[in-house]
Amino acid sequence: KNEVEQSPQNLTAQEGEFITINCSYSVGISALHWLQQHPGGGIVSLFMLSSGKKKHGRLIATINIQEKHSSLHITASHPRDSAVYICAVPQARHAGGTSYGKLTFGQGTILTVHP
Amino acid sequence: EAGVTQFPSHSVIEKGQTVTLRCDPISGHDNLYWYRRVMGKEIKFLLHFVKESKQDESGMPNNRFLAERTGGTYSTLKVQPAELEDSGVYFCASSQVQLGTQYFGPGTRLTVL
């Protein structure tokens, strides 16, 4: 079982629909990242959040630290939202006060929004 | 402000050859990470530099991979000799502080024939 699990793996929607992508993790974290990768493109960081909710345009990310679960919502979806959405968690290790942020990634959710 | 850049964007080599990938982080970012995505799998961590020092190289697959970050600026990842299973997309990311937002480069797509 992966430490970071996303669902669904594939998601198809019609333009205008409300979309939810879920991420569950099994390791203790300080924050969670949501990333976006367009076909043939690089990775863009959408959100980094450690509690509650963050909103940027039509994107909303929520996290429940106790339940180890995060969701990414897209309101009024558009074909240009079609991409792979990836959640990732940093694994903090403390050794004499030092921590680092190497990321463990989910497998990604392939979103296709049709006009 | 320039983002993270990677060179080349695409490399096709034959098995047994050597390839060197380069990453230029955002200026002032001490933390530099290398990740890799092989076909059909999730992105995996390779290693982490803090300035010129290797903080963690637990993700490096084997001794055919050598990463350097001379002077704490740009980093190179050399694969020698390349094998078929090394094919994938290699991403570099940088952050100002550990556990901070990581900014990703566009990736280098490596194809080993």
Confidence of residue A1 (pLDDT cuts 50, 70, 90): low
Per-residue confidence (pLDDT) for residue B1, from 0 to 100:
61
Per-residue confidence (pLDDT) for residue A100, from 0 to 100:
64
Q: Does A28 touch chain B (CB under 8 A)?
A: no
Per-residue confidence (pLDDT) for residue A92, from 0 to 100:
62
Per-residue confidence (pLDDT) for residue A31, from 0 to 100:
84
CA proximity to B35, closest of B20, B23, B26: B23
Q: Does A31 touch chain B (CB under 8 A)?
A: yes
Q: Per residue of chain B (113 residues), what is the pLDDT tens digit? A: 679 999 999 999 999 999 999 999 999 999 999 999 998 889 999 999 999 999 889 899 999 999 999 888 999 999 999 999 999 999 999 999 877 888 999 999 999 99
Query: Any idea which residue has 């493109």 for tokens?
Result: A41
Q: What is the 3-state secondary structure (H, E, C) of A32-71?
A: EEEEEECCCCCEEEEEEECCEEEEECCEEEEEECCCCEEE
Q: How far apart are CA A71 and CA B22, in angstroms?
A: 34
pLDDT in tens, A30-80: 789 999 998 877 889 999 988 899 999 999 999 998 899 999 999 999 999
For residue B26, give how far its alpha carbon lies from the nearest alpha carbon of chain A (Å). 14
Per-residue confidence (pLDDT) for residue A99, from 0 to 100:
46
Question: Interface of chain B against chain A, CB under 8 Å?
Answer: 31, 33, 35, 41-45, 48, 50, 55-56, 59, 91, 93, 95, 98-107
For residue B65, give how far its alpha carbon lies from the nearest alpha carbon of chain A (Å). 18
